[in-house]
Structure 1
């Protein structure tokens, strides 16, 4: 079996820690260590970071999806590597090459099976989560005398009700996909095996929109959390006005009046 790595080079899929595909403006990253339940080692973190750099640098890619091979998403850090002194964290990007610096473009997590510890924290660093109905989430670090240090404790209370987030983090127990959906942590539930297809459908819908507008929209939503009331519209204009004056904005208006699909150029 062959696939591609960041940059488009063909590789033996079984020897590369992630697989990368580009489908209709969407980059799909598949964690490819199923025998290790897609645990993250240093090589995987470096590969994810390279893929995200490619996603952000390519005009033809508008959104991303991250998923796992073999029926599970990710079990967290590779403990064998950890015991050998390996830390799957990169300067500036953090654990798995994503949790401290997610891509500037929208990223969707497609969850089958387990998303635990660092695997859950990868999902929480994404903008949307699609999960199979039998998926399980969790931050079990406290059960091992550890602290979930890859963003989960900061992001979870912003994604789910405070008291639920506190219970889940302090007990370290499993969170069912149904409970996560009811708490609005998960955008969409699917039948088992259907998470990637559903995530791709959302990502393709995003990718059909103006790429500059999509990127700026995500940036405003993410950054406005820290804006004061007085600076909100000033900061928003700094990001929205360049898009309003872009060639893509003119193309969007032309396409609407001419009743055709727009041809985005990313400028």
Structure 2
């Protein structure tokens, strides 16, 4: 009696390491990398892996097949699936307190929830052919995965309102001019450039990177005096860390530091 090998089940989210960087790939190109429930859980698990592993310093989020993400999988939603993860928001990312830096590598469209995923990242690298849009108003919705919350904090009010009220798309060049994108690269080069940028970030002290994320997140929502008080606590903790001592030694000895995250 013979047996035949069964095909491996489809995995909507793939991860791989390169040094201290975890590359997280949305792998549903047949659905333009739209987010269904399984994909959202996979993204949440990948981000939890990033935060839990001390050898990982930075994450890179991208999409397979030349598409970043078309946002919510409307067919899955019509079946009653939710693309949100409790406590973590849309795609398991948009409302999550991810401790480590996250870089978006955008090729092709980042529409709706796809744009919101990019907005949830700390840095964005876009290919020349990338396009960004929040078209939810055309479907009777609002950009509830962070678009209406984050976009007005990133660009001037009237520009944010134009994109939110019209749903029109902007290309990578316009996104760069608006301050929504850090770098624009040739098509097909977004992941490589984002991974290089992530490696540059990962070369810095992990405790300091985490402190930067916490302070930037805090400072926009509290009075300035409270932000400085919180900053003093962060700086005090960093001054007492082994990594600060190592950074000072490495500077004096003219060598690269060996960070331990302690």
CA contact (8 A) 1:102 1:125 kept: no
Using the alignment, how far apart are the partners of 2:120 and 2:261 within structure 1? 25
Alignment of 1:180 with 2:175, yes or no, is yes
Alignment of 1:247 with 2:242, yes or no, is yes
Per the alignment, residue 106 of structure 2 pairs with 111
Residue deviations 1:33-54 (CA, integer Å, cap 9, x gap): 0010000011111011111111
**CA RMSD after TM alignment:** 1.2
Stretches (4+) displaced over 4 A: none
Using the alignment, how far apart are the partners of 1:160 and 1:229 within structure 2? 21
**Structure 1 residue 228: deviation in Å?**
1.0
Of 186, 200, 206, 1:205 maps to 200
Of 132, 136, 139, 1:141 maps to 136
Per the alignment, residue 38 of structure 1 pairs with 33
**Structure 1 residue 141: deviation in Å?**
0.7
TM-score, structure 1 normalization: 0.93
Using the alignment, how far apart are the partners of 1:137 and 1:102 within structure 2? 24
CA contact (8 A) 2:215 2:227 kept: no
**Structure 1 residue 67: deviation in Å?**
0.3
Per the alignment, residue 7 of structure 1 pairs with none
User: Unaligned 5+ residue runs, structure 1?
Assistant: 1-10
Using the alignment, how far apart are the partners of 1:114 and 1:180 within structure 2? 12
**Structure 1 residue 240: deviation in Å?**
2.2
Residue deviations 1:183-241 (CA, integer Å, cap 9, x gap): 11111000111111111111000100010011111111121111212222211112221
TM-score, structure 2 normalization: 0.95
User: Unaligned 5+ residue runs, structure 2?
Assistant: 1-6
CA contact (8 A) 1:107 1:128 kept: yes
